Amino acid sequence: MSDGFRFSPRANRAAEIPWHTWGAEAFALARSTDRPILLSLSAVWCHWCHVMDETSYSDPEVIAAIARDFVPIRVDNDERPDINARYNMGGWPTTAFLAPDGTILTGATYLPPPAMRQALERIAQYYAEHRDRVESAMMEPQRADGETLPAADIDAGAADFVSERARASYDVQNGGFGDAPKFPQSDLLEFLLDDGLAGRHESLAMLIRTLRAMAGGGTYDRVEGGFFRYSTTADWSVPHFEKMAEDHGALLRILARLLAYENDAALDSALQQSVAYVRTTLFDEERGVFLGSQDADEAYFALGAAERATRERPFVDPTSYTAWSAALAGAFAQIALLAGDGELAAIAAGVLDTLELHVRDSEGLMLRVWRRGEEPRVRGILADQCATIAASLDAYEALGEPRFFERADRLVRATLAAFAPEGAAAADRIAESEDLGRLALRDRPLAENSSLARSLLRIAEIAERPADAERARAILATFASTYRNAGLFAASYARASALAGRVRAKLTIRGNSGATRAWRRAALCLGAPELSVTFESGEEAGPPTATLCVGTLCGEPIAEASALSAAYRALRERALRDAPPNFPAG
């Protein structure tokens, strides 16, 4: 039963536990044997998950108690974020104890052997002695996480709310937000980038200070490049050493967009070195996709370049996770445009083409997990659809290839139909006929819905389709009365809401796609979050031209890409003068 599970790469006995995959068979066994479920949420990159495999799950008494008194289920967090969202106990590993129907009894994170032995004994005893009470709780209806009440409209103050929260938690001395442990908080950083480019200079200053602190501290690998997952200290000096494709997809995109607008030698060096790291370590040339993560080998990453050269490199998860692979492809497309790097552009386009060819299912949705040597699997996760849509739009604007817009448009239709059939905000997963445990609870995640709304707004502008903009506003309005509960984690919502409220701009580039790079680059370097780019192929001789529209005003055709910045400033000033009173100028 332990075949297919992934345990610590070091010596351990965790595979001796009769683990089950999450599914009807395991839940049926728990009911038929009247035993509680032990749910272990782990990740292949997770240091303490490995420690638990090597200690608690290798303890003979623990192994025997689990086999005797529990139905053990092991879930990979990266593969099943929907299960993780409903059962995580505050980190990884999660050690959750469930009733046979999936109701949570209690749980923790890492438990060393003595604590694990005690927990197993007490929970087995409690379940045996209080079965009637547990069964009564199992029968009570549970509130669905993420349920929201629709509001009349978007809260126009979302950007101000998140900006104020960011200022209040900003670490002036060290950069970043809050105290240790300190994570990059990529959604917040990208909000600050948009907010700063729209005119709030303090947001841009906080962003730059934070990125410089990360790139100059221990959370950046100055030997091989790339960012470690987080810092255990407030000053970014002592990292947790795993490197994640998920983090790099966001951080590389943020750095590329910032450096298109602002020169910074230190951040440019970090970007170039990180791109090289991702290409050499997290890119699978054989399949043409990005890989999931590199292990947290503290001893290895403490070495210098010469010493590392003699050591085996830390394990790289050979799995491609669609959301992360797509996000890295979108970032590579933008970096390729800035650098004029044809190889990077080919990688970006190739990854998105591979995902389209091999990972899209028969209903037009993206599967999540593609392990080397296996068929893609895990259907119906919203995050994979949203990331692929956003990355395809980024690639369309950066590379000028119409197929990427066409795919984004198709996928957004399929996503709305499958994840939001009632017309409300999208659920985090597709409902199935037998949703086990807390998967029966409908969760409408704020971050993914905000990403979906942003993509709809972009598509609406590019395709001149007002109905998509209305759908985006309806999604955002769903969370208008509740987003503040998320605090800084409402950054993605604030970013989307700000875009919905801005005077929009659109650049239409005419000419052969191979000759439009200067125009595409000039558009990215404007630093205008409200700008969408679209293309019209032209057979006529001569260089490409472009037309710029801001709001309802359109300027004369522009002959040179170098003139775009001045044309944009002038037209935007006119559009803002003509805008209704109190219309957001950002």
Report the pLDDT value the prediction gives residue 435, as an integer from 0 to 100. Answer: 87
Q: Report the C-alpha gap between 424 and 471 in whole angstroms.
A: 9
Q: Report the C-alpha gap between 238 and 229 in whole angstroms.
A: 11
Radius of gyration of the chain (CA): 25
Report the pLDDT value the prediction gives residue 583, as an integer from 0 to 100. Answer: 47
Q: How confident is the model at residue 140 (pLDDT cuts 50, 70, 90)?
A: low
Q: Report the C-alpha gap between 500 and 506 in whole angstroms.
A: 14
Report the pLDDT value the prediction gives residue 151, as an integer from 0 to 100. Answer: 56
Q: How confident is the model at residue 540 (pLDDT cuts 50, 70, 90)?
A: low
Report the pLDDT value the prediction gives residue 473, as an integer from 0 to 100. Answer: 96
- Residues ≥6 apart with Cβ < 8 Å to 262: 204, 208, 527
Q: Report the C-alpha gap between 58 and 69 in whole angstroms.
A: 17
**Angle 546-548-552 from CA coordinates, rounded to 5°:** 150
Q: How confident is the model at residue 184 (pLDDT cuts 50, 70, 90)?
A: very high
- Alpha carbon dihedral 210, 213, 215, 216, in 10-degree steps, equals 170
Which residues is 49 bridged to in the sheet?
none
Average pLDDT over residues 476-496: 97
Q: How confident is the model at residue 138 (pLDDT cuts 50, 70, 90)?
A: low
pTM: 0.95
- The answer on pLDDT for 577 being more than 70 is yes
Coil, helix or strand at residue 201:
helix
Q: How confident is the model at residue 569 (pLDDT cuts 50, 70, 90)?
A: very high
Q: At residue 536, what are phi and psi to the nearest 5 degrees?
A: -125, 120
As a whole-number percent, the residues of the chain with pLDDT over 70 amount to 94
Q: DSSP letter for 51, please.
A: H
Task: Say how far residue 193 (Cα) sits from the centre of its chain.
Answer: 17
Q: If you write DSSP's letter for every residue of 526-546 in order, what string do you get?
A: T--TTEEEEEE---SSS--EE
Which residue type occupies 462? I
Coil, helix or strand at residue 48:
helix
**149 half-sphere exposure, CB direction, 13 A CA radius:** 4
- The answer on pLDDT for 192 being more than 50 is yes
CB 450 within 8 A of CB 390: no
Q: At residue 471, what are phi and psi to the nearest 5 degrees?
A: -65, -40
- Residues ≥6 apart with Cβ < 8 Å to 448: 382, 383, 386, 426, 428
**Angle 338-341-343 from CA coordinates, rounded to 5°:** 140
503-586 has CATH 3.40.30 classification: yes
CB 107 within 8 A of CB 402: no
Q: How confident is the model at residue 433 (pLDDT cuts 50, 70, 90)?
A: low
pLDDT for 356-389, tens place per residue? 999 999 999 999 999 999 999 999 999 999 999 9
Place of tokens 């239409």: 508
Report the pLDDT value the prediction gives residue 2, as an integer from 0 to 100. Answer: 45
Q: How confident is the model at residue 452 (pLDDT cuts 50, 70, 90)?
A: very high
Average pLDDT over residues 176-182: 97
pLDDT for 73-132, tens place per residue? 999 999 999 999 999 999 999 999 999 999 999 999 999 999 999 999 999 999 999 888
- The answer on pLDDT for 144 being more than 80 is no
Report the pLDDT value the prediction gives residue 161, as an integer from 0 to 100. Answer: 98
Q: How confident is the model at residue 1 (pLDDT cuts 50, 70, 90)?
A: very low
Report the pLDDT value the prediction gives residue 579, as an integer from 0 to 100. Answer: 64
Report the pLDDT value the prediction gives residue 145, as an integer from 0 to 100. Answer: 47
CB 350 within 8 A of CB 279: no
- The answer on pLDDT for 539 being more than 70 is no
Report the pLDDT value the prediction gives residue 514, as an integer from 0 to 100. Answer: 81
Average pLDDT over residues 453-465: 97
Report the pLDDT value the prediction gives residue 142, as an integer from 0 to 100. Answer: 53
14-139 has CATH 3.40.50.720 classification: no
In the CATH scheme, what is the code of domain 154-314?
A: 1.50.10.10
Q: How confident is the model at residue 432 (pLDDT cuts 50, 70, 90)?
A: confident
Q: How confident is the model at residue 578 (pLDDT cuts 50, 70, 90)?
A: confident
Burial of 312 (0-12, 13-18, 19+ CB in 10 A): exposed
Report the pLDDT value the prediction gives residue 389, as an integer from 0 to 100. Answer: 99
Write down the mean pLDDT value for the chain.
Answer: 94
- The answer on pLDDT for 141 being more than 70 is no
pLDDT for 264-318, tens place per residue? 999 999 999 999 999 999 999 999 999 999 999 999 999 999 999 999 999 999 9
